[in-house]
C-alpha cells in the first residue's frame, strides 16, 4: 500500500470534492487563494476519452497550478488497460495522487460499466485499481465510492477494496440509487471506519466522509462523530472560496468583497477557458455568490444574461454604487 502524501496530512483532512463543471482550474485557483483545503481533487475525466482523438479537450480538466498541491486527478472508466495508460499520463502531469471514481450515478457513466456500476462488479473494480497502481507505482491511488448500489452494502463491498490496498477511500454516504435525493447517512461512514479498524494497521486505508456538509465546523464535527480521517466538501463550496479558511469564514466577508471575488473568478474563467468552455458554466456560480443580501435577486437575474467578464464587472460595479446594498 502506497499512501504517498496522505501520511503527511494532519487529521481531520479537509478535501475539495471533484465536481464536473464546477471545480475547474479557475475555481480551484480562487479556492487556493482564499482558503486552501488539505487536498484538491480535479473534475473527473474519462480514461477512454483521454486516449481518444478528443484528448486535448479533456486535458483541460487536468490543468492545475503550483499552489494547488497536493492535488489528486480523478478518473473513471471500465477498461483496466486504459487505467494503466492514463495513470502514466497522470504521473507525467505532476499530480500527487490518482483517484478512481466508483460511485458516480450518472446514467451515461453507469452504462459504460463505470462509476457506481463497479459496486456490482467488484472483480473489475479490483482489476482497475491494480492497473492504475501498476501504471503509476510512485503515486498513491484512492477510491471514491458510495454505500451501495440500490441498498447499503458496505459490509460486502468494502472488503473487495481492502484486498487491493487503496491509500484512501471516500464514502459518499448514499447509495447510487439515492443520488443526492435523501440526507447523507453518516452512520455508514462510521461503519466504514469501524471496518477499517479490524484490518492490520499497515493495510488500513484512510476513510473520508462526504455528503451534505456546508461548513468547516460541521465537517470537523462529522469527523469527530464518525472517527473518519477526513471530510470531503462538495456543494458547500459553491459561491464560497473561503470555505476552508478558518480565519475568514464567509459570514465575515463583506458583500462587496464577495462580489469582487466573483468578478475575479469570472475573469480567470474567461482567461483560461475562452473558446474552450461555454461561458454559461459560470451562471451556477453566480446563483451562489449573489445570495442573502438586499438586491441579490435583481442582480442575479441580470447576471444570467451576461455573456462575458466585462459585462459581469459592469453589472456588479453599478450595483455596488448603491452603498446600502453592500455594507
The Cα–Cα gap between 230 and 257 comes to 30
Gap between the Cα atoms of 164 and 129, Å rounded: 7
Catalytic-residue membership of 104: yes
Cα(223)–Cα(158) distance, rounded to whole angstroms? 19
The Cα angle at residue 12 between residues 241 and 43, in degrees rounded to 5 = 45
Q: What is the pLDDT of residues 51-88, one digit of tens each?
A: 999 899 999 999 999 999 999 999 999 999 999 999 99
Task: Note the pLDDT of residue 235.
Answer: 85
For the chain, 327 residues long, the average pLDDT of each consecutive 10-residue run is: 94 95 95 96 97 93 96 98 98 98 96 97 98 98 98 98 98 96 96 96 95 94 98 93 92 93 97 94 94 93 96 94 58
Nearest to 257 by CA among 271, 245, 238, 241: 241
Q: What is the pLDDT of residue 322?
A: 64
H-run or E-run covering 143: strand 141-146
Which residue is catalytic, options 104, 232, 237, 306?
A: 104
CA distance 298 to 290: 10
Q: Which residue has the cell 462523530?
A: 225
DSSP code of 263?
H
Amino acid at each position: 500500500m502506497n499512501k504517498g502524501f496522505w501520511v503527511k496530512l494532519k487529521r481531520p483532512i479537509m478535501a475539495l470534492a471533484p465536481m464536473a463543471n464546477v471545480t475547474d482550474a479557475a475555481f480551484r485557483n480562487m479556492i487556493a487563494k482564499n482558503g486552501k483545503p488539505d487536498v484538491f481533487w480535479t473534475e473527473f475525466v474519462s480514461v477512454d476519452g483521454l486516449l481518444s482523438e478528443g484528448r486535448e479537450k479533456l486535458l483541460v480538466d487536468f490543468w492545475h497550478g503550483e499552489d494547488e498541491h497536493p492535488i489528486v486527478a480523478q478518473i473513471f472508466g471500465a477498461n483496466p488497460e486504459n487505467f494503466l495508460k492514463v495513470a502514466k499520463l497522470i504521473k507525467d502531469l505532476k499530480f500527487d495522487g490518482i483517484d478512481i471514481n466508483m460511485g458516480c450515478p450518472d446514467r451515461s457513466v453507469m452504462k459504460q460499466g463505470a462509476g457506481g456500476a463497479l459496486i456490482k462488479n467488484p472483480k473489475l473494480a479490483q482489476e482497475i485499481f491494480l492497473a492504475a497502481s501498476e501504471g503509476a507505482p510512485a503515486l498513491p491511488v484512492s477510491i471514491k465510492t458510495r454505500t451501495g448500489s440500490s441498498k447499503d452494502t458496505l459490509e460486502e463491498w468494502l472488503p473487495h477494496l481492502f484486498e487491493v490496498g487503496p491509500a484512501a477511500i471516500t464514502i459518499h454516504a448514499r447509495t447510487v440509487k439515492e443520488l443526492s435525493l435523501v440526507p447523507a447517512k453518516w452512520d455508514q461512514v462510521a461503519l466504514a471506519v469501524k471496518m477499517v479498524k479490524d484490518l492490520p494497521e499497515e493495510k488500513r486505508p484512510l476513510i473520508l466522509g462526504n455528503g451534505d456538509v456546508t461548513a468547516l465546523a460541521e465537517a470537523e464535527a462529522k469527523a469527530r462523530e464518525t472517527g473518519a480521517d477526513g471530510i470531503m466538501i462538495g456543494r458547500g463550496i459553491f459561491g464560497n472560496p473561503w470555505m476552508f479558511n478558518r480565519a475568514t469564514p464567509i459570514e465575515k466577508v463583506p458583500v462587496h468583497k464577495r462580489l469582487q471575488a466573483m468578478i475575479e473568478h469570472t475573469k480567470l474563467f474567461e482567461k483560461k477557458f475562452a473558446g474552450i468552455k461555454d461561458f454559461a458554466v459560470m451562471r451556477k456560480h453566480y446563483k451562489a455568490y449573489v445570495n442573502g443580501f438586499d438586491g441579490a435577486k435583481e442582480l442575479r437575474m441580470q447576471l444570467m444574461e451576461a455573456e462575458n467578464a466585462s459585462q459581469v464587472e459592469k453589472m456588479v460595479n453599478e450595483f455596488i454604487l448603491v452603498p446600502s446594498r453592500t455594507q
